[in-house]
């Protein structure tokens, strides 16, 4: 059959030559036990339950939204090796609008969430008549299975997915799929979600919350036992239990109970303060954050560091959590869109690493010697101005070439000194001229003294 303009083999015709990727003898999408023997002890890490944990949910959505809001730029390398933004009719349209029902942000959120939740992102390519990728579809990981042929070639089995245009189960070659995978511990084609490591902590946090909910539904009164001073029959015990559950539990908790015949109520359940409920919730949330490499303060489970430099905090978050995900997306897009040499994709991280306004202006002010005025204004989303394409320096600043030429001249003058020109002879005045000069100086002195005396009398 033909799918998106290419001949695709049906599953039944090639299934004998291909084998699905397995993980330790199991299907690759299974979630392993949190520790050996957990299944026998009824300690189950349920995938859907883990997704509902508040810390896990916050980490996944934070990472996905932060990456999705980054604009995708098409960049080209010039002769000087500098990458700058460009446009190309073969790549720009699909980067701007990946498919008919998703915009760029929705598409990228689906990409990142699939990778974080299932460890794998499968993107199906749709080509036009030229063979150029025109649309991209993020597939449901449950409907995709990696296959390996006897020769080592990689294929992907796709089950029917009407939204992505797959009408029946087909097997497509690897060149028609962008496969972004995460934490390939057991097989190069099998990624693992952080849920593999943080699932138990998520389940523990949910158990603490569920127990706390029941505790407060019971009027914040712990469970206990009714004891009698003597032996009672089973019928009496059953009757008392039914009476107590009906009248003093659930919505009726908190009512006054009147006990007779020596009956005594003894609390058996630990209080919230005794079980360190808040500490347990905080610990489980911090463990989940560590599996996603998200700083706990980013999702509100820890106070923000006492650091006023916002950029430093964002750089830490970027380097330990987002950078590998962003660069993996860029490489996958470059290879998936089959870009030629010297052209590629780049996610714009300026908005993510934006600093506070005061620091930003200080940095731009100090960048005069390396950035033009228009380049600095562009960082503030301002248009260029006349003369803004020139780098300005202060007058006392000199180029390296001018300083080198000056030093060379000084060295030459030191090695080859030139004789100083003969000084003009000092004129010698006659005795009559010297006497006249002295007389003039005395008259000027007397006049100055007289003037000062007159000013003093007038005052």
Each residue's pLDDT tens digit, 181-198: 998 988 999 999 998 888
Q: Quick check: 458 pLDDT over 70?
A: no
pLDDT at 36: 53
Q: What is the average pLDDT score of the chain?
A: 78
pLDDT at 230: 67
Query: What percent of the chain has a predicted confidence (pLDDT) above 90?
Result: 32
Q: Which of 115-129, 141-155, 427-441 has the lowest mean pLDDT?
A: 427-441
pLDDT at 253: 57
Tell me which range, 34-38, 325-329, 442-446, is most confidently predicted by mean pLDDT: 325-329
- Gap between the Cα atoms of 456 and 459, Å rounded: 5
pLDDT at 257: 62
pLDDT in tens, 371-402: 888 888 887 778 888 878 877 777 677 777 87
pLDDT at 1: 45
List beta partners, residue 6: 3
Distance (Å) of CA 315 to CA 319, 352, 442: 6, 9, 80
Q: Quick check: 343 pLDDT over 80?
A: yes
Residue 267 main-chain phi, psi, to 5 deg: -70, 135
Q: Quick check: 207 pLDDT over 70?
A: yes
Q: Which of 160-174, 281-295, 424-438 has the lowest mean pLDDT?
A: 424-438
Per-residue confidence at 430, pLDDT binned at 50, 70, 90?
A: low
List beta partners, residue 170: 10, 158
Residues 6+ apart with CB under 8 A from 196: 31, 32, 119, 183
Query: What percent of the chain has a predicted confidence (pLDDT) above 70?
Result: 70
Residues 6+ apart with CB under 8 A from 360: 354, 379, 380
DSSP state of 420: P
pLDDT at 449: 59
Q: Which residue has the higher pLDDT, 224 or 66?
A: 66
pLDDT in tens, 73-122: 999 988 888 888 899 999 999 999 999 999 999 999 999 999 999 999 99
- Gap between the Cα atoms of 28 and 20, Å rounded: 9
Contact 439, 433 (CB under 8 A): no
Q: What is the mean pLDDT of residues 273-299?
A: 83
Question: SS3 of 291, please?
Answer: helix
| Residue matched to tokens 């998106």 | 4
pLDDT at 130: 87
DSSP secondary structure of 22-46:
EETTEETTPPPPSSTTTTTTT----
Distance (Å) of CA 223 to CA 214, 220, 229, 261: 11, 10, 20, 21
Contact 263, 226 (CB under 8 A): yes
The b/e string for 95-118 (b: 16+ C-beta within 10 A; e otherwise) is beebbeebebeebbbbbbbbbbbb
pLDDT at 204: 82
- Gap between the Cα atoms of 142 and 28, Å rounded: 11
Tell me which range, 103-112, 164-173, 197-206, 230-239, is most confidently predicted by mean pLDDT: 103-112
List beta partners, residue 76: 84, 343
Helical spans, DSSP H, in 323-430: 323-336, 357-366, 373-379, 400-415
pLDDT at 10: 46
Tell me which range, 51-55, 154-158, 357-361, is most confidently predicted by mean pLDDT: 154-158
HSE, CB side, 13 Å, CA atoms: give it for residue 279: 5
Which conformational region is residue 335 in: left (phi greater than 0), alpha (psi within -120 to 50 degrees), or beta? alpha
- Gap between the Cα atoms of 330 and 73, Å rounded: 10
DSSP strand pairing (26-27 vs 2-3): unpaired
How many CB atoms neighbour CB 289 within 10 A? 25
Q: Which residue has the higher pLDDT, 282 or 345?
A: 345
Residues 6+ apart with CB under 8 A from 410: none
- Gap between the Cα atoms of 352 and 311, Å rounded: 9
pLDDT at 165: 86
Quick one: tokens of 440?
Answer: 């003039």
Question: SS3 of 138, please?
Answer: strand
Quick one: tokens of 332?
Answer: 């996958």
């Amino acid at each position: 059959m033909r799918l998106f303009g290419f001949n695709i083999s049906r599953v039944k015709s090639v299934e004998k030559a291909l084998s699905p990727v397995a993980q330790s003898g199991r299907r690759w999408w299974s979630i392993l036990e949190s520790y050996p023997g957990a299944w026998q002890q009824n300690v189950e890490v349920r995938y859907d339950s883990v997704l509902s944990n508040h810390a896990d949910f916050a980490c996944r959505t934070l990472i996905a939204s932060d990456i999705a809001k980054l604009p995708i730029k098409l960049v080209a390398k010039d002769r000087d090796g500098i990458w700058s933004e460009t446009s190309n009719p073969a790549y720009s349209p699909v980067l701007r609008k990946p498919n008919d029902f998703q915009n760029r942000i929705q598409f990228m959120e689906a990409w990142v969430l699939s990778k974080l939740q299932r460890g794998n992102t499968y993107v199906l390519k749709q080509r036009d008549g030229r063979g150029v990728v025109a649309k991209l579809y993020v597939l449901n990981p449950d409907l995709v299975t990696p296959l390996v042929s006897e020769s080592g070639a990689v294929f992907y089995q796709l089950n029917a997915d009407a939204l992505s245009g797959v009408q029946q189960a087909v097997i497509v070659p690897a060149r028609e799929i962008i496969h972004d995978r995460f934490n390939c511990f057991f097989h190069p084609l099998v990624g693992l979600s952080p849920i593999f490591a943080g699932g138990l902590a998520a389940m523990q946090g949910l158990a603490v919350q569920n127990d706390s909910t029941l505790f407060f539904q019971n009027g914040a009164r712990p469970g206990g036992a009714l004891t009698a001073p003597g032996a009672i029959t089973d019928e009496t015990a059953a009757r008392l239990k039914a009476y107590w559950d009906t009248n003093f539990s659930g919505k009726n908790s908190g009512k006054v109970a009147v006990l007779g015949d020596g009956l005594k109520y003894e609390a058996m359940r630990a209080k919230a303060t005794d079980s360190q409920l808040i500490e347990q919730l905080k610990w489980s949330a911090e463990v989940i954050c560590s599996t996603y490499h998200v700083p706990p303060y980013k999702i509100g489970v820890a106070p923000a560091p006492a650091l006023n430099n916002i950029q430093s905090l964002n750089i830490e978050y970027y380097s330990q959590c987002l950078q590998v995900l962003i660069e993996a997306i860029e490489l996958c897009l470059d290879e998936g869109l089959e870009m030629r040499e010297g052209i590629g994709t780049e996610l714009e991280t300026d908005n993510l690493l934006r600093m506070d306004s005061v620091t930003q202006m200080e940095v731009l002010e100090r960048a005069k010697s390396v950035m033009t005025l228009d380049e600095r204004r562009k960082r503030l989303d301002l248009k260029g101005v006349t003369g803004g394409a020139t780098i300005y320096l202060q007058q006392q600043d000199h180029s390296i070439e001018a300083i080198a030429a000056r030093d060379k001249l000084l060295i030459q003058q030191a090695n080859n000194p030139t004789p100083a020109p003969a000084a003009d002879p000092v004129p010698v005045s006659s005795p009559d001229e010297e006497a006249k000069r002295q007389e003039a100086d005395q008259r000027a002195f007397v006049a100055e003294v007289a003037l000062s005396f007159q000013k003093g009398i007038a005052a």
